[in-house]
Structure 1
Amino acid sequence: MKNCLCFSLIFLLGACARADHLGRAPTFTPTKNAVEHTAMMDPGLPLVAEPQRLVDQASLWRAGRTSLLGDRRALQKGDILTVRIEIDEEAEISNSTSRSRSGSDSLGIPQLFGLPQRLNEKLPEGASMADAVSLNSNSRSDGDGSVSRREELTLRLAATVMEVLPNGVLAIKGSQEVRVNFELRELLVTGYVRPEDISRQNEITYDKIAAARISYGGRGQISDMQQPRYGQQVLDMILPF
């Protein structure tokens, strides 16, 4: 009974994951009430209140972020900035190990107050205390490994300031979805940036994002065909051979 329930749960999980795009294009992730939408709707209170003077209201020149020469970089919760992801890396690692060991031990009691002679009478034919224990062991281990990897990725997306930490660092999160036919490509970026690292164009590169988490993948019919079935993944996890 328990086995049937386990297999039923695995089947339902696999079916629910693909039911979204069964015979149709995958649906977009809703943006209403998302974490980015919540951050924009509730930007929080300013740390210092700046009273607006009547002179500023009547003047042609206005100081602030909305003025002609104002600083429009992302500085507070709910602001938007552009993240540039330009990854062009190449790594090649090769190593080789070899280990061998051999050992030999022998133990015998030819004379000990006549006790070995008495024991030899009771031992099976061919056994003798003169050569009671003899051990030999040999072991050898060889290993070779190599890694060759090349990654190239160039992307741009808008991220939202989710939180302003007490030290002024900005916690950002950005998501982007592009659907082509029946395949949906997803790009996710999260991390922490310093306001001074944001350029005058309100942009920042990925190498200036602390604790950066970048995910570029997708879901749809093609992605489903490239992945092994859930049953095969479970067997690969539990089978020792």
Structure 2
Amino acid sequence: MFLVVGKPIAELQKALTDWLSGLSGTNAIILGVVLGLMMCFDLGGPLNKVAYAFAVGGLANPNDGSLKVMAAVMAAGMVPPLAMALATVVRGGLFTRTERENGKAAWVLCSSFITEGAIPFAAADPLRVIPSAMAGGAVTGALSMLFECTLRAPHGGIFVLPLIGNPVLYLIAILAGTAVSAALVILLKGMGGRGEKDADQDATPGTESGTAPKVPATV
């Protein structure tokens, strides 16, 4: 299985890395958008890993461009869990009790640059969550490049803030993308007919939040 699947995936990753390398010398903002989309598309999957490997590879021989790429990648990767956490606070009724609990954990995961913190939300509602996350990631990646933010660490989230160039603008880029993603996921869930009453129900059939199932009276 590894020989059958592994080689095509490796070739795809190499092709994507070569393509990203070609973009780095043209338009930094477009590169930031592409990296942001890749980081948020599969939330830790192959595309996410290609974007991350591309950024980390540039740190081997750091220059101004590679440091900007690393900053954009990490900023975009923090957006999905942060946006889902924010959305569960702003409109908690659109999410199940379990999702609201996952939202609490997502605050910590996003601050540590763990994009996978948004996976429970994407698994439950991929058609709304993934496009929302990608939109916010694209905004953050573009703004990070526009603001010329840099990063010398391959990981760490907000805990490596002293190693970030233009840290205030960097945080603004993250907050802007988070606001976009959170607003979109709230909008899409609302338009999708998932009312607050319905979303607040647990997965147990025949029960509503806070109420026990009715049992027929016995004679």
Q: Given the two structures, how large is their TM-score scaled by the length of structure 1?
A: 0.25
Larger C-alpha radius of gyration, 1 or 2? 1
Higher strand share: 1
Higher helix share: 2
Higher relative contact order (CA 8 A, sep 6+): 2
